[in-house]
Amino acid sequence: MGFKCGIVGLPNVGKSTLFNALTKTAAAQAANYPFCTIEPNVGDVAVPEPRLKMLAEIANSAEIIPSRLQFVDIAGLVKGASKGEGLGNQFLANIREVDAVAYVLRCFEDDDITHVEGRIDPVADFETVETELMLADLESLEKRRVNLEKKAKGQDKEAKATLLLVDRALEQLRKGKPARTAEIAPDEEKAWKGLQLLTTKPVLFVANVDEASAAEGNKYSDQVFEEAKKHGAKAVLISAKIEAELAALDDEEAAEFLREIGLEEPGLNRLIRAGYDLLGLHTYFTAGPKEARAWTIRRGALAPEAAGVIHTDFEKKFIRAETISFDDYVALGGETAAKEAGKQRIEGKDYVVQDGDVMHFRTGN
Ligand SMILES: Nc1ncnc2c1ncn2[C@@H]1O[C@H](COP(=O)(O)OP(=O)(O)OP(=O)(O)O)[C@@H](O)[C@H]1O
Ligand SMILES: [Mg+2]
């Protein structure tokens, strides 16, 4: 199960700097993962999870294995990109493949670093980039519509249903709004996703500030946070420059540096967690002497699906899940004590796995 978050923005705003810092973090932990980097521009990143260490201490685990998330560094796009300007349409294919989009917005001044528009204005930059995505959606839908309309005139029920969705997306896009603002009923979700639009993907705003503003932000990042709020989206304050420096330090040096600049943790951790949330994911754990491990599942996933993340067979042969909540596990001091205190639940096929559940799956033949 791959979950991909695309790093999207104008050229020269710090996307690759951020991506390199992100993947440097992963590289440091690469020993655990033989198939870490798949393509040069796709980075596999460990999701920071402080609860894992606590579990590992209690269970005496020899190894800690975090869950992973992928970030994709996508080529910068400029005004007119949807019509082939700059690197042209290449970015469209790349964005289509990701599950969520992180807009990197330049919130730092530096005369030596060219801004393609010649001014610092992160909100206008966001609008430029999102407009290109909207134009790309508009164009692809208008093309598809012609064909669909022909089919819908016959008895093609599916085409009729799709046409309705296409028109709903077009209505928003023609108003200059992203397709995600359309109202979609739960039973339409699947077909809606099937349209593969760029502007239905969940988005996150990344305010890339100068080094001095990493802790408190600046006037530009304030604008970004305000804009994100208008869209009901999350924003993350980060200085890619600092993150790049942090990634080059060992743990102790990094902790010292963070203290000096007034940060509690690397901005990357916040970014990764925000990406994880954005993708609608959460975590359950397995813990034993061999390893303490975090597993990623969709929010709302049932126990058999969660078991299937470990091994597809586990899903098919699922019988029950012995489950202890993280808080009980830690408060009581581990599996045996939790069991004795009656805090181990036996959950069946219909159990909706909760974030932080510590689980053992029992399977049949
Ligand atoms: N927070 C920051 N403060 C100061 N300089 C920064 C910051 N973030 C990035 N930079 C600098 O901005 C320049 C452009 O960064 P980078 O190459 O990461 O941009 P990019 O968005 O990947 O560009 P492209 O789309 O062209 O690939 C680099 O010189 C980098 O050091
Ligand atoms: Mg780049």
Q: Are residues 227 and 322 in the same domain?
A: no
User: Could you give the number of structural domains in the chain?
Assistant: 3
- pLDDT for the residue numbered 30: 33
317: DSSP letter: T
Q: Are residues 225 and 359 in the same domain?
A: no
Last residue of a domain, one of 245, 278, 311: 278
Instruction: Summarize the confidence of residues 76-104 as an average pLDDT.
Output: 81
User: Which of 43, 108, 46 minimizes the C-alpha distance to 241?
Assistant: 108
User: To which H or E segment does residue 350 belong?
Assistant: none
Q: Is 217 in the pocket of ligand 1 (CB under 6 A)?
A: no
Residues with CB under 5 A from ligand 2 (ion): 15-16
Instruction: Summarize the confidence of residues 113-141 as an average pLDDT.
Output: 91
- pLDDT for the residue numbered 12: 86
In a domain, 288, yes or no: no
- pLDDT for the residue numbered 86: 67
Residue 365 has pLDDT above 90, yes or no: no
Contact 23, 37 (CB under 8 A): yes
Q: Are residues 86 and 142 in the same domain?
A: no
Q: Are residues 270 and 205 in the same domain?
A: yes
- pLDDT for the residue numbered 34: 34
In a domain, 72, yes or no: yes
In a domain, 242, yes or no: yes
Q: Is 245 in the pocket of ligand 1 (CB under 6 A)?
A: no
Lowest-confidence pick of 264-268, 284-288, 355-359: 264-268
Q: Is 267 in the pocket of ligand 1 (CB under 6 A)?
A: no
In a domain, 289, yes or no: no
Q: Are residues 272 and 318 in the same domain?
A: no
In a domain, 292, yes or no: no
CA–CA gap between residue 122 and residue 228 (Å, rounded)? 11
Q: Which atom of ligand 1 is nearest to the CA of 20?
A: 18
Beta bridge partners of 363: 318
- What pLDDT, in 10s, does the model give residues 39-62? 447 888 889 999 999 999 999 999
3-state secondary structure of 321: strand
**Number of the ligand closest to the Cα of 213:** 1
Whole-number mean pLDDT of the chain? Answer: 89
Q: Are residues 13 and 115 in the same domain?
A: yes
- pLDDT for the residue numbered 33: 35
Q: Are residues 12 and 40 in the same domain?
A: yes
Return the residue whose CA atom lies nearest to atom 10 of ligand 1. Answer: 14
The annotation status of 14 as a binding-site residue, yes or no, is: yes
Q: Are residues 188 and 163 in the same domain?
A: yes
- pLDDT for the residue numbered 234: 94
Phi, psi of 68 (to 5 degrees): -125, 155
Strands (E), the chain: 4-8, 42-46, 63-65, 68-73, 100-107, 203-209, 234-238, 281-287, 291-298, 318-324, 345-347, 358-363
Instruction: Summarize the confidence of residues 109-122 as an average pLDDT.
Output: 87
Residue 84 has pLDDT above 80, yes or no: no
User: What CATH number did the domain enclosing 317 receive?
Assistant: 3.10.20.30
With tokens 């992973």, the residue in question is: 68
Q: Which atom of ligand 1 is nearest to the CA of 112?
A: 29
The annotation status of 16 as a binding-site residue, yes or no, is: yes
User: What CATH number did the domain enclosing 82 receive?
Assistant: 3.40.50.300
**Number of the ligand closest to the Cα of 212:** 1
Q: Are residues 113 and 227 in the same domain?
A: yes
CA–CA gap between residue 243 and residue 273 (Å, rounded)? 15
Return the residue whose CA atom lies nearest to atom 15 of ligand 1. Answer: 14
- What pLDDT, in 10s, does the model give residues 217-244? 999 999 999 999 999 999 999 999 999 8
In a domain, 267, yes or no: yes
In a domain, 249, yes or no: yes
- What pLDDT, in 10s, does the model give residues 307-357? 999 999 999 999 999 999 999 999 999 999 999 999 999 999 999 999 999
- pLDDT for the residue numbered 31: 33
Instruction: Summarize the confidence of residues 185-191 as an average pLDDT.
Output: 91
- pLDDT for the residue numbered 23: 82
Q: Is 129 in the pocket of ligand 1 (CB under 6 A)?
A: no
Residue 36 has pLDDT above 50, yes or no: no
User: To which H or E segment does residue 297 belong?
Assistant: strand 291-298
Last residue of a domain, one of 278, 309, 329: 278
Q: Is 212 in the pocket of ligand 1 (CB under 6 A)?
A: no
The annotation status of 12 as a binding-site residue, yes or no, is: yes
Tell me the pLDDT band of 215, cut-offs 50, 70 and 90: very high
pTM confidence score: 0.88
Q: Are residues 359 and 328 in the same domain?
A: yes
Q: Which atom of ligand 1 is nearest to the CA of 9?
A: 21
**Domain extent at residue 138:** 134-194
Of all residues in the chain, what percent carry a pLDDT higher than 70?
93
Distance between Cα 41 and ligand 1 center (Å): 16
Tell me the pLDDT band of 25, cut-offs 50, 70 and 90: very low
The annotation status of 17 as a binding-site residue, yes or no, is: yes
Return the residue whose CA atom lies nearest to atom 30 of ligand 1. Answer: 14
In a domain, 128, yes or no: no
Q: Are residues 244 and 152 in the same domain?
A: no
Residue 1 has pLDDT above 50, yes or no: no
Q: Is 206 in the pocket of ligand 1 (CB under 6 A)?
A: no
Between 35 and 98, where is the model more confident? Answer: 98
Pocket test for ligand 1, best of 7, 8, 10, 13 (most atoms within 8 A of CB): 13
Distance between Cα 18 and ligand 1 center (Å): 8
Last residue of a domain, one of 220, 246, 278: 278
Q: Are residues 94 and 16 in the same domain?
A: yes
Q: Is 12 in the pocket of ligand 1 (CB under 6 A)?
A: yes
CA–CA gap between residue 220 and residue 235 (Å, rounded)? 12
Pocket test for ligand 1, best of 8, 10, 12 (most atoms within 8 A of CB): 12
Tell me the pLDDT band of 87, cut-offs 50, 70 and 90: low
**Residue-by-residue DSSP string for 85-106:** -TTTTHHHHHHHT-SEEEEEEE
User: Which of 317, 319, 362, 323 minimizes the C-alpha distance to 344?
Assistant: 323
Residue 38 has pLDDT above 60, yes or no: no
